[in-house]
Amino acid sequence: MHQTITVTYTEEIVRDAVRTFVWRRLIANQKRLWVAEIAMVALFLWQLWSGDAGWLTGVFGGLVLLYPAMILVAWIAHYRNTVGKFHRMQTRQATFVFYDEGFDVASDLGSAKIPWSTVIEIWERPTHWMIFTAINQLMTLPIQTEKVDVLDFLKTKVRSTMP
């Protein structure tokens, strides 16, 4: 198979990709960290309630803020990177060429050749798909209804897809 599609990006699509990434990867899928966060908040509040305002209480207070701060930093980094690239695009379009071995993507910002073996998962959104080549590395593919066969082809090439 060899198919070429040209897609158009909108700011809503790239913002949604960042929001979805942060929500799923850093909030919804981190249940163990949230359990630890709740335990740390409880321990911090217990320390305050018992009147112990020593250095240990300060450490717990800092630990309570650590994970939310990490989420905020990750969101800012991904937002600036993704939305920043969108704003640097002159045409706001990219061309994807799909092959049996992988796919090529090109825009006025550059191009890349990506083998299927590097794609670890695809997240499906109503207006776009998020193609991951690493746990924190993704590209956005706006979907167009006239190319349903291309999307079906993508699903056959990547084992892990999420609606």
Q: What pLDDT score does 163 carry?
A: 55
Render pLDDT for 87-118 as a digit per residue (tens, 0 to 9). Answer: 999 999 999 999 989 999 999 999 999 999 99
Structural domain including 50 reads 15-86
Average pLDDT over residues 150-159: 77
What is the number of structural domains in the chain?
Answer: 2
Render pLDDT for 11-57 as a digit per residue (tens, 0 to 9). Answer: 999 999 999 999 998 888 878 887 888 888 887 887 778 877 777 77
Among 50, 70, 86, residue at a domain's last position: 86
Which residues fall within 8 angstroms of residue 8, CB to CB, at 6 or more apart?
92, 93, 142
Render pLDDT for 115-142 as a digit per residue (tens, 0 to 9). Answer: 999 999 889 899 999 999 998 899 999 9
Of 28, 67, 27, 26, which Cα lies nearest the Cα of 44? 67
In 3-state terms, the chain is what percent helix, strand and coil (to 5)?
55, 25, 20
Which CATH number is 140's domain given? Answer: 2.30.29
Same domain, 102 and 128: yes
Structure tokens given for 82? 């993704």
Among 66, 86, 106, residue at a domain's last position: 86
Q: What pLDDT score does 84 carry?
A: 94
Q: CB–CB of 37/67 below 8 Å?
A: yes
Among 67, 86, 105, residue at a domain's last position: 86
Give every strand in the sheet of 161-162, ordered side by side. Answer: 137-142, 128-134, 121-124, 161-162
Host H or E run for residue 132? strand 128-134
